Structure 1
Amino acid sequence: MVMQVGHEMLRGCHIVLATAGEPTVFLDNLLSLLHRKEMAMTVINADAAPQPPGQHQDEQNRINLLRGLWGDPRFTCRALVLDLTQGKVNTVLRFLEESALRERPHARVILLGPNALTEGVLFHPSLENTIHTLYFALNDLILQRLRQRTSIKGKEGDGTVNSRVRDSLVDMFSKCLYCMDGTSGIRFLGSRSLLQESELQENITDDYDASRFTIINIPTRVRRRGHQLNSTQHSQSSALSAYVVREPWDRQWGVFAEETGNWTGIVGTLQYEKADLSLGVGPTADRLRVMEHSRVYSPEPFVIVSLKPQPLPQYLALIRPYEGEVWVLVILLTPAAGVVLWLLQKTWSIISEERGMKFSSAFLCSLSILLGDQSPTGPTHVTARVLLGSWMLNCMIITAAYRSSLIAHLTVQKKFPPINTFEDLLGRKGWRWGRMPSSGTSFTFFNKSSDPVVNSVFMNIEYHDLDENMKQVLKGGYSFLTNKYYVSAIISTYYTNSLGYTPIYLSSKDYPIYSGFSWGFRKGAPFRRAVSMIQQRIIEAGLITHWVDDVVKARARKVRMKRKLAGQETRRPG
């Protein structure tokens, strides 16, 4: 019966058989069954497993052990079959601790042991997160036969003892994680004769109807994560029956302390398992060492928030038709043409003994042609007249192009170029930028980046709260670095008038400083997969985008209505 039920539960899994001491008859028979069914398996003697931390353990052996247990990529299902009938229970339980079973809640575990150890084994910390746990409680008579490596079916002539063995009942128990008013408990699945054909009718997968989960989160001024609350409410009806939300004691996302190896804030709360999950935590390589994440459901890139590009001053319209290089060339050619004209006339006057041209007259002649005025005096020599004609043709082209360009600039005002990248920030003279104080993934992005541009931005960054950052943006000459969807909600709510106009500009380039938002879980949380599956269905249905738009629009409408009744408009500087 035990092998039949175990075969049904372990079908399609990579199986690890663990015992302490010599293999029992049960283990031999189970091995034969698995060989006949061609099922993958690994046999481990717990006596040879690595010692727990604090003793002289070989770390490489421990790594090899974990690879043998969980490292086969061909199987998505993992299973442990533990034989406790030899009496070395502590050895087997120590093996469970070393196997990191707490971090694999969906591994299937079957235990075979004495009836008296049922509660002690099922409530062991290593099985705290395991959803699929089945315990076969054996009486003393069966244990004695197993330890003596005697066949339970027996031989002819041994009818009295074997009849008693065959008629003995095996109690079957499963562990439930949240069935006892939100805490773990033990379910009795019934008793079966040892050799009776039996099927496991009880669904041993746990439910969360009676559970009460603790969510750790930092509230924000605008409910930028309203879609997370909607998602939580949807998950409540599907997987999470009840929950309570509280803040971390230090109101921080989490900072890693290298001297202790521990985290603060939300990440630290999940690391010490003082909460079950958190909303809107970005996964990073460092955080994944101490907590787990659901799938990313919403990207949250960084953007540069600035005042919309302003028109250039009107007095600059006179010089905007030409670039600086063209103006320099015109300024240099005008006196040069006068100098050449004066030299030609001077040379001709010496040769012909005629009256020459003054230098001032030659300069004024070239300048008057450039300005479109009639020259008061002209040269008498043919070469000088050819030079003057060439200069006149060039001046006609220059002045015609200038006038047409000036009309265009006066018709359409030119604006300062917008700030779209970090390079634009560094290239704008006298420009300042800042962000809100934070110890989360955004700080990690700036603090640990190897990009010299990002490092230069980080070196000159200022830290202000939200109101002060937006106030500085509206004054001009300042940019605010923050999350795109968060600041979009702020702008739509507080910095947009009833006609939909806002003076705020968001950069066209997004900076994906991390993969996006997900839910964070304590290590080994048994409900993480259920929540991820619900989130996947929500994403595929398009509800995340709908909720984001709904939250932003609803909040903006409510605030605008209040401000309209109060006679206010879009916020202004000061």
Structure 2
Amino acid sequence: MCCWFLEESGISQRPEARVVLVGPPKGVEVVLQNPLLQNAIHALYLTLENLGIESKRKKLASALKVDLGLEEEWGNLHVYRKCLYCNAGDADVRLVRRWTPDLGLGAKDELFPDEFGDFNGHKFTVVAKRYFPYMDASLETNEPGSRLTVLDSLDTRIFLALARYLNFTFETWSTADSEFGVDKGDGNWTGMVGALQHGHADFSCGITPTRARGQVVDFSRVYIPEPWVIVSLKPQPPPQSWSLVRPLTGTVWLALVLSIFVFAFVLWLLQRAWSWVSGGRGLHLCRALMYAWGTTLEDPPSEPPANPTSRMLVVWWLMFCLVATTAYKSALIAHLTVQLESPPIDTFEDLLGQRGWGWGMSLTGSAMQSFLNTSPDPVIRRLGENVQRLSEVDRTSKVMRGKFAIVEPKYYIKAIVAKNFTNRVGYTPLHVGRKEYAIFAGLAFGYRRGAPFRSKFSESKQRMIEAGLMKHWIDDVFEAFSLKARNAKAKSGEDELLQPMSNGGPVVLSLHHLQGAFYLLFIGCACASFSFLGEKLLVRDLEAAQPVA
């Protein structure tokens, strides 16, 4: 009956509830050590002894010292308490109060003392997953679900600080599937969430708290924010093959070409009208067009038009060409020496606006995947529809090839960039977006349901947060990791593969810069060749058509 009542009351998930049980002395150990009371912080057991053969009414009256009109016959009342960690870190039963007719109820020991100031060397089981810089660990064996050896990281420093302060030890284990936690659909979860759900571990390393996960595990307060960012190749200069046309916009080029044709037509029209009036020699339309084209290229014909009206038109055309060519040449010099770059990708809108681009995220980003699929924001939904779930190697290799971006937590992806894509002087070809998306509150420790020590851990971590230790530790971990990675690259020679395209010094124009001019020359030569072939064919056809004398 007692176990049924404890199970139905859900007392195992209510550690702060006060539990008072009454029974015979022989039931103390059995009842207080019941697994249903493993999380109970305040559990008392009262025993009534030396009452002889009395009715329950007399026993109750003697225990409470209430006059019920019964014959007075006093006995002893013993109060036992369950302590969670008093027996070298294990649970035990202690006698805390004894009531006798002579001495009454003593007040030597507290009924509900604070048990979490000292865990007396209790060993906790922690479930973790490598997620640097938040958690770093190495497997002791190659078998799935084996024990981990923790390495320097933010969570490791928190674990060690709590262990020293609260006097406990811990051992860290991985999960067989190496996941944070995904709902299987039948109420059971995978990964770390599943291990906590089924009581295989006491608490976990940092994990993203969500509404769905909160239904099967408990979370402490968030101790570190986890903003998400976009990572892509740094903006690259456009191809140099179009460097000759890039100084002017398409609208300006179109207006310039139309101006040449309009000027040539007006010049031809004026010359033809003057020739009709004065009887002088007119101007052929093709020659007027070449006149306009040569003037634009700063090589006008040596003979100006004969009539004053056409000369006035040419004067204004020369002024127009002076302004246009000066502006073009100055802009061309600037474009050849200072390379313009495409705008960086900082936001989801920037990413979706790129043509032919793809994007991806990690295979274990279950919380982020759920957010992308259920967000009411159309931009987020569109991002989730085309996201690719890839491994770390595949994601980063696609980014380095270009036209691909990854969406990752800020500190996590910065660690990957620092390790694999940064040289010893700090240069990296990757761009971390400036826009930070606070999609989730951050990271928090997960606990099995009803864990009695959760409040104490949260209180201790709050002190660390207020002291500024979290920010200091993660910056220190990241700095040490980055320095180690840079030194390793310098020794291995991989550092030479990550060099900036320009050192910011004087630019010496090379074939790379002037390739557009050579392409233009080749196109001109090809056009002249085709024109020559066409002319030869035309002449041959004309000669064949003439009658033989």
> Normalising by structure 1, what TM-score?
0.75
CA contact (8 A) 2:97 2:105 kept: no
Equivalent residue in structure 2 for 1:270, among 189, 196, 200: 196
Deviation string, structure 1 residues 104-152 (Cα, Å, up to 9, x no partner): 3223334455555544543455533121223332345484326689984
One-letter amino acid of the counterpart of residue 134, structure 1: L
CA contact (8 A) 1:254 1:268 kept: yes
Aligned residue for 1:303, secondary structure, equals strand
CA contact (8 A) 1:224 1:486 kept: no
One-letter amino acid of the counterpart of residue 122, structure 2: S
Change (3 A) 1:281 1:151: closer
Change (3 A) 1:570 1:289: farther
Equivalent residue in structure 2 for 1:206, among 112, 115, 140: 115
Change (3 A) 1:129 1:362: same
* 1:542-561 mapped onto 2 (5 Å cutoff): 542-561=468-487
Residue 252 in structure 1 maps to residue 163 in structure 2: no
Change (3 A) 1:371 1:424: same
Residue 103 in structure 1 maps to residue 8 in structure 2: no
Question: Unpaired segments of 5 or more residues in structure 1?
Answer: 1-88
Change (3 A) 1:100 1:345: farther
Q: 1:14 is matched with which residue?
A: none
* 1:366-405 mapped onto 2 (5 Å cutoff): 366-405=292-331
CA drift at 1:415: 1.8
- Greater shift after overlay, 359-368 or 448-457? 448-457
Residue 321 in structure 1 maps to residue 321 in structure 2: no
Q: 1:154 is matched with which residue?
A: 67
CA drift at 1:222: 7.1
CA contact (8 A) 1:365 1:378 kept: no
Q: 2:522 is matched with which residue?
A: none
CA drift at 1:173: 1.0
Equivalent residue in structure 1 for 2:58, among 133, 145, 150: 145
Change (3 A) 1:280 1:483: same
Q: 1:21 is matched with which residue?
A: none
* 1:367-446 mapped onto 2 (5 Å cutoff): 367-446=293-372
* 1:88-237 mapped onto 2 (5 Å cutoff): 90=2, 96-112=6-22, 115=25, 117-139=27-49, 141=54, 143-145=56-58, 152-154=65-67, 161-162=71-72, 164-165=73-74, 168-180=75-87, 182-193=89-100, 196=104, 198-199=106-107, 201-202=109-110, 204-207=113-116, 208-220=119-131, 225=136, 226-237=153-164
CA drift at 1:230: 0.6
Aligned residue for 1:437, secondary structure, equals coil
Q: 1:241 is matched with which residue?
A: 168
Change (3 A) 1:151 1:265: closer
Deviation string, structure 1 residues 46-87 (Cα, Å, up to 9, x no partner): xxxxxxxxxxxxxxxxxxxxxxxxxxxxxxxxxxxxxxxxxx
> For 1:390 and 1:571, how far apart are their aligned partners in 2?
55
Aligned residue for 2:205, secondary structure, equals strand
> For 2:64 and 2:13, how far apart are their aligned partners in 1?
37
Change (3 A) 1:197 1:209: closer
> For 1:132 and 1:101, how far apart are their aligned partners in 2?
11
Deviation string, structure 1 residues 490-517 (Cα, Å, up to 9, x no partner): 2223322222222222111122332211
Aligned residue for 2:99, secondary structure, equals strand
CA contact (8 A) 2:133 2:411 kept: no
> For 2:19 and 2:164, how far apart are their aligned partners in 1?
29
CA contact (8 A) 1:309 1:416 kept: yes
Equivalent residue in structure 2 for 1:287, among 208, 213, 216: 213
Q: 1:482 is matched with which residue?
A: 408
One-letter amino acid of the counterpart of residue 58, structure 2: R
Deviation string, structure 1 residues 460-511 (Cα, Å, up to 9, x no partner): 3334322332233223333233222112122223322222222222111122
Change (3 A) 1:463 1:569: same
How many residue pairs get aligned? The number is 476
CA contact (8 A) 2:227 2:438 kept: yes
> For 1:484 and 1:151, how far apart are their aligned partners in 2?
63
CA contact (8 A) 1:179 1:210 kept: no
CA drift at 1:362: 1.9
Aligned residue for 2:359, secondary structure, equals strand
CA drift at 1:95: 5.7
Aligned residue for 1:262, secondary structure, equals coil
Q: 2:512 is matched with which residue?
A: none
Aligned residue for 1:187, secondary structure, equals strand
One-letter amino acid of the counterpart of residue 400, structure 1: T
> For 1:412 and 1:143, how far apart are their aligned partners in 2?
98
> For 1:399 and 1:375, how far apart are their aligned partners in 2?
17
CA drift at 1:281: 0.5
One-letter amino acid of the counterpart of residue 19, structure 2: V
CA drift at 1:413: 1.7
Aligned residue for 2:19, secondary structure, equals strand
CA drift at 1:383: 4.6
CA contact (8 A) 1:223 1:551 kept: no
CA contact (8 A) 1:493 1:552 kept: no
CA contact (8 A) 1:132 1:205 kept: no
Aligned residue for 1:256, secondary structure, equals coil
Aligned residue for 2:229, secondary structure, equals strand
> For 2:67 and 2:43, how far apart are their aligned partners in 1?
30
CA drift at 1:377: 4.6
Aligned residue for 1:402, secondary structure, equals helix
Identity %: 37
CA drift at 1:229: 0.3
CA drift at 1:170: 1.0
Change (3 A) 1:345 1:198: same
Aligned residue for 2:472, secondary structure, equals helix
> For 1:568 and 1:104, how far apart are their aligned partners in 2?
56
CA drift at 1:271: 1.1
Q: 2:388 is matched with which residue?
A: 462
CA drift at 1:567: 4.1
> For 1:343 and 1:100, how far apart are their aligned partners in 2?
100
> For 2:473 and 2:133, how far apart are their aligned partners in 1?
14
One-letter amino acid of the counterpart of residue 179, structure 1: C
CA drift at 1:434: 2.5
Q: What RMSD over aligned residues (CA atoms) do the two structures have, in Å?
A: 3.0
> Normalising by structure 2, what TM-score?
0.78
> For 1:510 and 1:189, how far apart are their aligned partners in 2?
55
> For 2:333 and 2:365, how far apart are their aligned partners in 1?
53
